[in-house]
Chain A
Amino acid sequence: MRVLVAMSGGVDSSVAAAVAAEQFGRDRVVGATLKLWGGAADSGCCSVADVEDARRVADQLGLVHHVFNFSDEFEERVVGPYVEGHADGRTPNPCIECNRHLKFDRLLDRARTLGFDAVATGHHARRRTTAEGRFRLCRGVDPEKDQSYVLAMLGQDQLARTLFPIGEMTKAEVREEAGRLGLRTAAKPDSQDVCFIRSDEGRAGFLGSRLPLHAGRMVDQGSGEDLGPVGAVELVTVGQRRGMGHGRDGRRRFVTRVDVPARRVWLGSPEDALAADVRLHTVAWVDDVPAGGGDHSGDPTGGGWRAVAQCSAHGRPVDSTVHPEGGGLLVRFSTPQRRIAPGQTVALYEPGRPDVVIGSGIAG
């Protein structure tokens, strides 16, 4: 078994590389860092420092290390759509699109081309193999750090060639192992933000450099009353509360709809901000498409099947029923949820085994 480990320069993938090297042997494991961003000159950006961390960890583990330049694909598949999404009043999740198109497509292809049997990553998730030889995607053991949500678009082809060496470890155990091995990344802080947005410019600065931003008006969704100006409608997200002030009744107001062409942001009460359901497109299943004939028990509407939905990276799972609808899905929540911004991903888990991912889709 020859394994290519995707090393970002962080502690998780450093330890993933160490675990893989231990398991398969140093001469059968190679590290690779993806150069996704940094522009042509590649200067003044943190990515060189991260590549250095990855390379030095690989050196320390006795692994060959390469850098793959996927910046064109990253621009085309992740950054461009992220910008276009905001121009349309949507809020795409760039980490999920990067996993979908870069790590678990382009990198898997590259690994296969170079003669590797699998790609290992430092995600907190687990891959299980069933008795029939099918692959299951499961939550990582550390509930705080579980990343199954951002992997919920993976299918059998990808899982067959993917390993998650640290999925059985908690974050504390990962850091402890990194410390025990003396890896330079042992105490490196977790990355929090979108990797291509600098903290000094923020989302507004980044989008402002790529898009014309338009001032707009806030409008009460019930009365149609004009509630004042908003700086840039492209920067407002459905469900957002921050900066939206309070209503006449003194309660907080939430964004319920963003209409970029009309330069309008619709606001409502906390109740208005809730939704009973969400429609999904770009649906992906971990295994064969559930045949609509799943578990119907407890579904008063009939026709659908039960699932547990998670609507953000660390959102609380909610019991739901899922109804195929055209090429997409209608997910009905058992209790109303904060409105899901268009572009966000909803991950679906098995109702009886809530750590097993069924699939995912993108809110329309």
Chain B
Amino acid sequence: MASEAVEAMVPFLADRFGNPAGSHQESRRARRAVDDAREQIAALLGADFSEVVFTSGGTEADNLAVTGGWEAAFTGRDSPPALVCAAMEHHAVLHTCRALAERTGAECREVPTAKDGIVDLDALAEACTPEVGLVSVMTVNNEIGTVQPVEAVARVVRDRSPSALFHTDAVQAVVWTDVGAQTAPADLVAVSAHKFGGPQGIGALVVRHGVPIRPLIHGGGQERDRRSGTPNVAGIVAMAAALTVAHAARPETVARVAGLRDRLGDGLLASVTGITETAAREHKVAGHLHLRFAGLDQEALVILLDQAGVSVSAGAACASGAVEPSHVLVSMGLRPEEAAGGVRFSLGPTTSVAEIDHALAVVPVAVAQLRD
């Protein structure tokens, strides 16, 4: 976590434990802190103060957007409207869409990914028919790091599915892109604090003015009746502090980390044979490097690199902790054996040159050991 975020939240954990909904001094203080944070966050996300709904994280924000948005879109229609989402969506969106479809009989259309790691816009246009109620396409893919054309997606949605809501999961975008500008065409935008230096367990959904949404969590009517429950004051305050830091540091972070990413990517492509880089770097955020090692068992590579002090990830982790095949790579049309060697190197604002050089030293050794 960013030290600014830790410092911001500690007082609210230690002694300022007022409930912002109350009418006492402590409550007013807590309420003021939440409102200040909401204002800061709204400004940095390109949203209005009252458009920001705090949630328990990115997953809840996505669930609220998809389910709450779709339910609102259903109101006044005779049959359940269809859902459209990118096949590469994070499971927080993908599985929510599928669950909704299964529960209600709505049709769920999953749009494939083109070879360059970008959502296939022609297929999207085909999926976006007038009866669609909600479309979800993420801002930046979490696995391969590709930046999606939110603006172009929005044009397709408005043009072909004029009554649909457009949601974008921007959880992976915040550190690397100007999220406010990038997500401006979307009706709903999900973010999560721990992805930009804030604590786990706090996130937000931007719900644009006039966009109808049904709450998932009912109760005391907090967050303008869109998300009940006592707010996580310490988390909200820390999220604002982290977002402020990440925003201010962004130009420097992007330039520095892109240099490190290129050093790692170029170095490994030069020193290890049989590697394919997934999607071109100009389409990707600075902190992402995704490599596919031909003929390698990704699960073994992850463990071997972990033993050598390099943390990488592969596919998706399931409830048991096992590695599952990557639905993102599969959505790009890769064969299972091509997807099986895919490994993600994630870099962040704190990644150092020494860490990159360590990875450059140990990855070729691990690959050689596995291919032996």
Q: Which residues of B contact A42 (CB under 8 A)?
A: 318-320, 322, 324
Q: Does B275 contact A (CB under 8 A)?
A: no
When the two chains form their complex, are residues B303 and A114 in contact, meaning their CB atoms are under 8 A apart? yes
Q: Does B353 contact A (CB under 8 A)?
A: no
How far in angstroms is the closest Cβ of chain B from A352? 42
Q: Dominant SS at the A interface?
A: mixed
Whether A47 contacts B304 in the complex (CB less than 8 A), given A113-B297, A115-B369, comes out as no
Q: Does A303 contact B (CB under 8 A)?
A: no
Q: Does A67 contact B (CB under 8 A)?
A: yes
How far in angstroms is the closest Cβ of chain B from A72? 8
| Docked CA distance A114–B321 (Å) | 18
| Complex: chain A residue closest to B91, CB-CB | A41
Whether A35 contacts B322 in the complex (CB less than 8 A), given A113-B297, A115-B369, comes out as yes
| Docked CA distance A38–B303 (Å) | 22
| Complex: chain B residue closest to A35, CB-CB | B322
| Complex: chain B residue closest to A112, CB-CB | B372
For B318-353 the 0/1 string (1 means CB < 8 A from A) is 111111100000000000000000000000000000
Max chain A C-beta neighbours (<10 A), residue from B297, B320, B323, B370 = B320
How far in angstroms is the closest Cβ of chain B from A103? 16
For A112-126 the 0/1 string (1 means CB < 8 A from B) is 011100000000000
Contact of A69 among B304, B324, B369 (CB under 8 A): B324
| Docked CA distance A23–B320 (Å) | 28
How far in angstroms is the closest Cβ of chain A from B155? 34
Q: Which residues of A contact B299 (CB under 8 A)?
A: 68-69, 110
When the two chains form their complex, are residues A113 and B300 in contact, meaning their CB atoms are under 8 A apart? yes
Q: Which residues of B contact A71 (CB under 8 A)?
A: 322
Whether A68 contacts B369 in the complex (CB less than 8 A), given A113-B297, A113-B300, comes out as no
Q: Which residues of B contact A43 (CB under 8 A)?
A: 319
Max chain B C-beta neighbours (<10 A), residue from A38, A48, A55, A69 = A69
| Complex: chain A residue closest to B95, CB-CB | A41
Q: Does A51 contact B (CB under 8 A)?
A: yes
Q: Does A66 contact B (CB under 8 A)?
A: yes
Contact of A114 among B300, B318, B319 (CB under 8 A): B300
Whether A114 contacts B304 in the complex (CB less than 8 A), given A68-B299, A69-B299, comes out as yes
Q: Does A40 contact B (CB under 8 A)?
A: yes
How far in angstroms is the closest Cβ of chain A from B10? 29
How far in angstroms is the closest Cβ of chain A from B11? 33
Which A25-74 residues have C-beta < 8 A from chain B? 33, 35, 38, 40-43, 47-48, 51, 55, 66-69, 71
When the two chains form their complex, are residues A110 and B319 in contact, meaning their CB atoms are under 8 A apart? no
When the two chains form their complex, are residues B320 and A35 in contact, meaning their CB atoms are under 8 A apart? yes
| Docked CA distance A68–B299 (Å) | 7
| Docked CA distance A110–B301 (Å) | 10
When the two chains form their complex, are residues B324 and A113 in contact, meaning their CB atoms are under 8 A apart? no
When the two chains form their complex, are residues A66 and B303 in contact, meaning their CB atoms are under 8 A apart? yes
| Docked CA distance A113–B299 (Å) | 11
For A94-131 the 0/1 string (1 means CB < 8 A from B) is 00000000000000001001110000000000000000
Contact of B322 among A41, A68, A114 (CB under 8 A): A68
| Docked CA distance A69–B315 (Å) | 11
Contact of A55 among B304, B321, B323 (CB under 8 A): B321
Which B237-296 residues have C-beta < 8 A from chain A? none
| Complex: chain B residue closest to A52, CB-CB | B320
Contact of B319 among A48, A66, A68, A113 (CB under 8 A): A48
How far in angstroms is the closest Cβ of chain B from A204? 26
When the two chains form their complex, are residues A40 and B320 in contact, meaning their CB atoms are under 8 A apart? no
Q: Which residues of A contact B304 (CB under 8 A)?
A: 113-115
Q: Which residues of A contact B369 (CB under 8 A)?
A: 113, 115
| Docked CA distance A103–B307 (Å) | 22
When the two chains form their complex, are residues B300 and A110 in contact, meaning their CB atoms are under 8 A apart? yes
| Docked CA distance A66–B323 (Å) | 10
| Docked CA distance A76–B286 (Å) | 40
Q: Which residues of B contact A47 (CB under 8 A)?
A: 320
Task: Report A's interface with B, CB cutoff 8 A.
Answer: 33, 35, 38, 40-43, 47-48, 51, 55, 66-69, 71, 110, 113-115
* 28 residue pairs from A and B, CB less than 8 Å apart: A35-B320, A35-B322, A38-B318, A38-B320, A40-B324, A41-B318, A42-B322, A42-B324, A66-B321, A67-B320, A67-B321, A67-B322, A68-B299, A69-B299, A69-B318, A69-B322, A69-B323, A110-B297, A110-B300, A113-B297, A113-B300, A113-B304, A113-B369, A114-B303, A114-B304, A115-B304, A115-B307, A115-B369
Given contacts A38-B318, A113-B370, A114-B300, 19 further A-B contacts (CB under 8 A): A35-B322, A38-B320, A42-B318, A42-B324, A48-B319, A48-B320, A51-B322, A66-B321, A67-B320, A67-B321, A68-B299, A69-B323, A69-B324, A110-B297, A110-B300, A113-B297, A113-B369, A114-B304, A115-B307
